[in-house]
Amino acid sequence: DDEHHGEFDAQSLREHEEFTKVKNVEQIELGRHLMDTWYFSPLPPEYKDCKVLYFAEFDLRFFKRRDEMLQHLRKSRLQHPPGDEFYRNGNVSMFEVDGKKERTFCQNLCYLAKLFLDHKTLYYDVDLFLFYVLCECDSRGAHVVGYFSKEKCSEEGYNLACILTLPPYQRKGYGKFLISMSYELSKIEGRVGTPERPLSDLGNVSYLGYWTRQLLDVLSDHQGSISIKELSERTCIRPDDVVRTLNELQLIQVQKGVHVLYAGPAIIARHLKMAGSAGLKVDPSKIVWTPYN
Ligand code: 1VU
């Protein structure tokens, strides 16, 4: 059986290499940022093997030459991504973009995202997805910071398919903001959710950080006993993710096949002190959104 397993791993490794070996674009320019890329992206052949790919802000069309991109920008006069702005707080906005209505924008976003995502399961059939695009706004427009995608109807109960913060904006709390927004949308839908697997290392750190803080916040406000189910209902975090997080925090034990939570106020307070940053906060009162149907 071990041998079989070894064989499988070798095969998936080959597939993985097939998809990731040739990084075809070295850098991209988007707005005022020049970014080094991380991975291969299956761009149309004519764009492969160019040193810098120039993305037009707002509609994300891409060009091999900077002057072409600038000419396009001048003509298009856009100041924000397509779709509906469903959140605004200070200089932060979020837009919901329907993959079917804005196919080109969403495909371009996927091409761009793949340059920083090591997944081979990034879907280019964008029709089935909604894209939630996070922007920082100034007088020149709404500049893309990151996004997450979400299946319009997920049989598996996923509330997020892919998440990305563009490198110049990473480690500022935007990733946690996007994760938090995905759960706020689940709360409006009235059902628990979970991200699609696999998670990247950075995705894993960010999710574990988000789940930890959410659960500790509920626990620190709560008196008396609380069940996994109730923790899940309050946060919309799926029960197995709740169990996994509490396990990582060593707050849970299995006794006679039942999960038992051990967490006095002092222990919770200590964990809260050690927990990572809360990230940029979502203000749920500023979300204007109805579920897809
Ligand atoms: O909770 P803490 O405060 O302790 O941790 C923060 C932050 O410190 C940590 N973190 C890092 N740790 C080590 N090395 C790093 N380079 C690093 N970057 C971040 O992660 C916690 C969250 O930080 P954040 O809220 O500032 O999040 P970011 O805006 O940096 O965004 C996190 C993601 C995962 C979105 C970002 O790293 C990214 O876009 N990575 C590339 C794409 C990717 O891997 N996406 C997830 C793939 S899995 C998937 O899509 C299926 C759901």
* pLDDT mean by block of 10 residues, the chain; 293 residues: 48 56 85 96 87 97 97 94 98 98 97 88 82 97 98 97 98 98 98 96 97 96 89 97 94 83 87 90 98 91
Rounded to 10 deg, the angle between the 228-235 and 239-248 helix axes is 110
* Cβ-contact 163, 179 below 8 angstroms: yes
Ligand 1 centroid to Cα of residue 93, in Å, is 20
Which sequence positions are flagged as catalytic? 196
Which stretches of 78-200 are DSSP H helices?
103-114, 174-189
**The CA-based dihedral angle spanning residues 44, 47, 49, 55, taken in that order and rounded to the nearest 10 degrees:** -120
What's the complex ipTM?
0.98
Ligand 1 centroid to Cα of residue 237, in Å, is 18
Residue 71's SS3 state is helix
Q: Indicate which residue's Cα is closest to atom 10 of ligand 1.
A: 171
**Which numbered atom of ligand 1 lies nearest the CA of 170?**
30
How large is the C-alpha radius of gyration of the chain?
A: 21
Q: Indicate which residue's Cα is closest to atom 31 of ligand 1.
A: 175
* Exposure string over 151-178, b if 16+ CB within 10 A, otherwise e: beebeeebbbbbbbbbbebbeebbbbbb
Ligand 1 centroid to Cα of residue 57, in Å, is 23
The total number of residues shown for the chain amounts to 293
**Which numbered atom of ligand 1 lies nearest the CA of 118?**
44
* Cβ-contact 220, 234 below 8 angstroms: no
- Within 10 A of 242 (CB to CB), how many other CB atoms are there? 26
Mutation pick for ligand 1 pocket among 92, 180, 205 (CB with most ligand atoms within 8 Å): 205
* Cβ-contact 76, 70 below 8 angstroms: no
Ligand 1 centroid to Cα of residue 74, in Å, is 34
Q: How far is CA 49 from CA 4, 17, 40, 60, 170, in A?
A: 37, 18, 10, 19, 26
Burial class of residue 281 (count of CB atoms within 10 Å of its CB; 0-12, 13-18, 19+): exposed
Burial class of residue 236 (count of CB atoms within 10 Å of its CB; 0-12, 13-18, 19+): buried
Mutation pick for ligand 1 pocket among 112, 148, 170 (CB with most ligand atoms within 8 Å): 170
In the prediction, which pLDDT does 50 show?
A: 86
Mutation pick for ligand 1 pocket among 36, 116, 171 (CB with most ligand atoms within 8 Å): 171
Ligand 1 centroid to Cα of residue 271, in Å, is 20
C-alpha 128/C-alpha 69 separation (Å) is: 29
In the prediction, which pLDDT does 124 show?
A: 67
Ligand 1 centroid to Cα of residue 201, in Å, is 8
- Residue 154 sits at φ, ψ, to 5 deg, of -105, 115
Q: Indicate which residue's Cα is closest to atom 13 of ligand 1.
A: 202
Task: Tell me the one-letter amino acid at 235.
Answer: T
Is the peptide bond prior to 265 cis by the omega test (within 30 degrees of 0)? no
- Residue 289 sits at φ, ψ, to 5 deg, of -155, 140
Query: What tokens were used for 164?
Result: 């990305």
C-alpha 259/C-alpha 276 separation (Å) is: 25
In the prediction, which pLDDT does 151 show?
A: 96
With a Cβ cut-off of 6 Å, ligand 1 is lined by: 116-117, 160, 162-165, 170-176, 195-196, 199-200, 202-203, 205-206, 209, 276-277, 279
* Cβ-contact 146, 166 below 8 angstroms: yes
